[in-house]
Amino acid sequence: MNLPNKLTVLRMIAVPFFVVLYLLEYQIAAFIVFVAASLTDMLDGKIARKHNLVTNFGKIMDPLADKILVYSAFCMMVENGTVSGWMLIVILAREFTVAGMRTVAASEGIVIAAGMSGKIKTVLQMIAVPLLLLGTWPHEFVAYAAQGFLWASLIMTVYSGIEYVWQNRKVFSM
């Protein structure tokens, strides 16, 4: 297994540690684990492209690892009221729709790559989560920034979902 794939697996292994730390209300430790895991996403992609280490495993597992990390955080935050349940439903509905369309396309031998708006959505989510973890520390402004990034990620989630469905509408006739 190459280094980028190891980083992807490491990101998935970090999730239970993040969840336990969050549940134990060790917000700063959960913040550190989440940020470190998020940085592996950026790092594994750069290494894979630079050294021509792109693999089928990485193509599938890298975005899945991102989703497991971010959506486990959102699930924990719904439980304590930091994130509204309806927001998580919108986010998951987009993800299930995209995954379903990709599955149908793949069954026909068509690979649908991730678009830029989906990547922006992921980055906004990966910024929103750590800010939400910080709450009002070290300043109340952090809470406002967190809400701004959460809403921006939600808007980008809806936009990227609509864009994805529209650009790949041919999947519905397969």
For the segment 88-111, what is each residue's pLDDT rounded down to a tens digit? 999 999 999 999 999 999 898 887
**Mean local confidence (pLDDT), 47-51:** 93
pLDDT of residue 173: 87
What CATH number corresponds to the domain at position 152?
1.20.120.1760
Q: What is the pLDDT of residues 110-122, one digit of tens each?
A: 878 788 999 999 9
DSSP of 107-160: HTT---PPPHHHHHHHHHHHHHHHHHHHTTSS-THHHHHHHHHHHHHHHHHHHH
Looking at the structure of the chain, the number of domains it has is 1
Q: What is the pLDDT of residues 5-42, one digit of tens each?
A: 999 999 999 999 999 999 999 999 999 999 999 999 98
Q: What is the pLDDT of residues 133-170, one digit of tens each?
A: 999 888 899 999 999 999 999 999 999 999 999 999 99
Domain region containing 100: 3-173
